[in-house]
A and B are shown apart, each in its own frame.
Chain A
Amino acid sequence: MASRPKSKPTAPPARSVLGNDPFLRGAAPSAPAPVPLADLAEPKTITIARFERKQPVTKQERAVRPRPPSAEKAKARPESKSRALTAESPARPKTAPTRVLEAIPKPKTAATRAIPGVPKPAAKPKTAATRAVPATPRPETRPRSAASARAKTLTYDESAQGNPAPAARALVKHVLVPEIEGDAPRPPPRAEAPREPERKPGALGVLGALAQARAQSLLGAVASSPTAMQLAGAALSGVTAMRALVASPTGLRTVDDFGEDPALVARTAPALDFLYDHYFRVSVQGAENLPRHGPLLAIANHAGALPLDGPVLRAALERSRPGLRARWLVEDAIFHAPFVGTWLNRLGAVRACPENAQRLLEGGAGLVVFPEGVNALTKTYRRRYQLQRFGRGGFVKLALRTGAPLVPTAIVGAEESMPVLATLSAPGLGLPVLPVTPSLLPLPTKWTLVFLPPIDLSKYGPADAQDLALVQRLTEEVRSAIHQALDRVRGERRSVFLG
C-alpha cells in the first residue's frame, strides 16, 4: 500500500453522486455530543467593544463597561485597516488581503476602532496575528459564577422559538448585565468621533444607520442597551439585504462555465458581507492550515433548513486565502428545486457530482463539500452536530485522484441558525422530507469556522482511489476530526448567539 507513484493514470470518474445518499437516511450512527460546560471563563470582550461604539453611551455605563485589552485591539488593527482600504471598491473584495478575526466589523466600525493614544503596531504577518487570537490568554473580567449562571440562562429552547429579534433582545438583557460588572472604565467615545467621515459608507451601511436611527426613536425604552439597538438595526438592515437577494435575476448576463453570474454575485456581496460580518459574526480559526497554493477540498458539517453555510464557507475560504476562487457543491434535492436551485446556481453553487468536482479542482478552485448531503438538511434540531454518514467517500476519491488536499472543516453556529423542529413527508416536492422551521429568517447565531490541518495523503496516489477500504478509513478520519473540533468549539462557547 506504501508509496505509489503519482503519475499513474487517473481512474475514470465514478458516476456516483457525492454526499447524496437516499438509502441511508436516518441510519447514520449518531455519536452523542455532550456540551461540556468546562471552560466558560474566557470572555469575548471584543463583542462588547463592537456594540458600545454604535450608540451614545451614558456616563454611568461608561464607567462600568468592560474594555478589551489594548493588546488585543492592536492585534485586530491591521485587519481592520485592510478592510477599510478595500471598502472603496464596489466589487466584492475577493483578492483583498483580509483575514478573519473574531467578529470583524464593517469598514464603518473598523475605521472608528482605532483609539488615539494606542500606537499602531507595524503590520504583522497575517497568519501570526490570526493564530495569536485564540492563543492569547485573556484576563478574567467577570466572576466565574456569573458566567456559568449566564450559560444556564442561554439555552436555546427558552428564548429563540419565536421572532428572532425580540428573542435576541431578551437574551441580551440576560447576558450583558453580568458582563458589565467590575471592569475597567473605557475611554470616552468622543475621541473616536472625528474618524467617522474618513470612510465612505456603502448603501448597506447607510441603510443600516437609518435602520438604527429608526430603531432608536422607536425603542427609546431600551435605548440604554446598545446591544438591543444593534440587534434591532441588524434585523432591519437584514430585511433590506434579503430583499436585494431575492430580486429576480433578469437581463442578459454572462455566466461562467458552472452557471455563476458574477453580476449577481457582486450585487449580493453586500448582503453576504452583512450576514458574514454582522449577522453571523463569523470567526475563523486555523486559517493557517489552508494550503497556500493550488486547489483544496474543504469538508464540512451541514445542517439547517436554508443552506447558508455553503456561501458563508466559500466567503471564509476566499477571505482566508486571497486569490482563491471557491465554489460549493449542492445536493440534487436542493439544486433541482425550482427557483431555489437556479438562484443558488447563479450565486455559485455547483451540482454535487464527481465530474463537476474534478473539473473545478483541475481548474485550481477551492471546493466546499458537505458529505452529509441531504441527510443533514433534514436533521432535526435535537440531532444537531451529530454528523451523519459521510456519503460514500466520494470526496476522498476525488482528493486521491486530483491530489487536492483535504481540509476538514467544522462549522459551529450554523446548525442552530435555521433549526428544523420536525420533518414532514412531502411527496411530489422532490425533497425526501419537508423540514419545518419556526423562523422565516435564519437566527443570528454566532458562527465559528475551524479549518483543521489537512489530511496527509502524500503516501497515496491516484490508483488508491480504487482501494475501498482505504477510502472508508480516510473518510472516517475526516469525519472524526470534524467531530472532535465541533465538540471542542461547542465546549468553549458559552452562548449560541454571542459565542
Chain B
Amino acid sequence: MAKSGRAPQPGKRRGISVALTGATGKLGAALLSRLLASRDVYSVVAFDAKAPGPTHPKLHFQPVDLTATSADRTIAEALAEHRVEAMAHLPLLSGPADPAYAHEVEAIGSLRVLAGLGPSAVKRVVVASTTSVYGASPQNPNHLDESRPLVARARSRYLRDKVEMEKQVQAFREAHPDRTVTVLRFPPIVGPGVYDPFASFLERRFAARISGFDPLVQVVHVDDALDALERALGSAWPGTYNVGSRGVLPLSAILKCAGVHAVPLPYLGTEGAVKLTNAVGLTRTPPALLEYVRHTYVADLRKAERAGFAARHTIGEALEAFAEHRQAARS
C-alpha cells in the first residue's frame, strides 16, 4: 500500500476512480483516508448527507440524501461524471439510531444506491454486511459458512434491515451478471473506534452479560476489514465472503480486555426486564441483542482464505489496538 498522498497530475489518469457511500461513518472514514493515500486510486467520490471532514484534491464530495426519492439519479449522474469503476457501499451505522430512520437508510437507501448503480458503468460493487445476519442461535455450528441461510425471522429491526439489504444485493447480482459484486460480511469491527451495536458494548463502562453463558466471539480488526474492501475495489473478487481476524475469544475475556465491567444477569427473565427498561426509556438495547451475548455466531473464514485473502491480525491484536485507543481517548 502506497503511503504518499500526491495529487493526481492533470491530463494523466493513473489508477482507478472509486466511489463510496457512508464516508462519514467510522469504517467509511477509515476507508476514505486509505483510498486517498493510495497510489492506485485516481479519484474518490464520496456520497453522504454531510461532507466528510478532510478535504483532499482527489476527493469529490457528492451530497446525497438516501431517504430522498431522487437519490438514485444523483448517484447515477455523479458516477457517470467521474467515470467511477468501483463502488463501495457501506451501510453500517456507527451506533444505535432511530429504528425508522435506520430502516430508511439501510434498506430503502441501499435499494436507491443499487438503482443508481444499474445504468452506470461501474464494474465492481462492494457491499459491507455483517455476520450477524446468520443469527445467534443454539443450533449454530461453531463456524457458519457463507451458504448458511440468513436469519429468516429476525426479531430485531436492525437485523431485518441487514438481511433485506443482502437480498437486494443478491437480486442486483442476478440482474447484472456483467458486474462483479462482492459482499463482505464482517463480525464486529474493532480498532480505533467501533461500528455496530454489538461492538458498542465495548465502549461502555458496564455491559450486561447473561450469567452462565459465555459465547465465543469473533471480531475483525479494522485494518483487516479495510484490506478486504480495498482488495475487492481494486480487483475482481466476486462472491460473498466472511472476513474476520484470526481466532475467537469468549465474550467475558473480550469485555475484560476492553475494560468493560460485565454485569451478569440471570438468563430467565432478562428479556422481559430489558423490554421494560426500553419501554421506560432507560435503555435502548434491542431484546434480540440478548441472543448475541448468549449464543455463538462465528463465521467460517476459510472461503476468503481459499480465495487468497488472509487476515493480518489476530483477535488479540484487534482488542489490544482497541484498548490502546480507548485509553488514549479517556485520558
Q: Which residues of A contact B (CB under 8 A)?
A: 17, 250-255, 257-259, 261, 332, 336, 338-339, 341-342, 346, 350-351, 353-356, 359, 428
Contacts and interface: CB of A to CB of B under 8 A. Distances in A.
Contact of B256 (A251, A261, A332): A251
Contacts of A258: 142
A180 to B, nearest CB: 50
Given A342-B212, A350-B142, 12 more contacts: A252-B249, A255-B216, A255-B253, A257-B142, A257-B143, A257-B248, A259-B250, A261-B250, A342-B250, A354-B141, A356-B143, A359-B142
A435 to B, nearest CB: 19
A410 to B, nearest CB: 29
Contacts of B268: 428
A251 B253 CA distance: 6
A353 B145 CA distance: 14
Given A252-B253, A254-B247, A254-B249, A259 B212 contact: no
Interface string B251-273: 01100110000000001100000
A346 B212 CA distance: 13
Contacts of B247: 254, 257
25 contacts: A17-B139, A251-B253, A251-B256, A252-B256, A253-B249, A253-B250, A255-B248, A255-B250, A257-B247, A257-B248, A259-B296, A336-B138, A338-B211, A338-B212, A338-B213, A342-B214, A342-B250, A350-B142, A351-B141, A353-B139, A355-B141, A355-B142, A355-B143, A359-B143, A428-B268
A342 B213 contact: yes
B8 interface: no
A252 B142 CA distance: 20
Interface in B173-232: 211-214, 216
B316 interface: yes
Interface string B289-331: 0000000100000000000000000001000000000000000
A356 B257 CA distance: 28
Contacts of A356: 141-143
Interface in B125-155: 138-139, 141-143, 145
Contacts of A336: 138
Contacts of A359: 141-143
Contact of A255 (B139, B213, B249): B249
Question: How many interface residues does chain B have, given as a range?
Answer: 20 to 34
Interface of B: 138-139, 141-143, 145, 211-214, 216, 247-250, 252-253, 256-257, 267-268, 296, 316
Contact of B141 (A250, A341, A346, A353): A353
Contacts of A255: 216, 248-250, 253
Nearest to A352: B141
B18 to A, nearest CB: 35
Contacts of B211: 338
A50 B176 CA distance: 77
B142 A351 contact: yes
B318 to A, nearest CB: 13
A338 B212 CA distance: 4
Contacts of B248: 255, 257, 259
Contacts of B316: 254
Contacts of A350: 142
B138 A332 contact: yes
A405 B247 CA distance: 29
Closest 6 CB pairs of A and B: A338-B212, A355-B141, A339-B212, A342-B214, A252-B253, A353-B141
A336 to B, nearest CB: 5
Contacts of A339: 212
B148 to A, nearest CB: 9
Nearest to A261: B250
Contacts of B257: 252
Nearest to B257: A252
A253 B214 contact: no
B142 A253 contact: no
B271 to A, nearest CB: 14
Contacts of A253: 249-250, 253
A338 B213 CA distance: 6
Nearest to B296: A259
B284 to A, nearest CB: 26
A37 B165 CA distance: 70
B313 to A, nearest CB: 14
A459 B35 CA distance: 56
Nearest to A357: B141
A342 B211 CA distance: 10
Contacts of B214: 342
B330 to A, nearest CB: 19
A342 B249 CA distance: 13
A350 B140 CA distance: 12
Nearest to B249: A255
Nearest to A339: B212
Contacts of A254: 247, 249, 316
B142 A259 contact: yes
A336 B216 CA distance: 13
Contact of B216 (A250, A259, A355): A259
B74 to A, nearest CB: 44
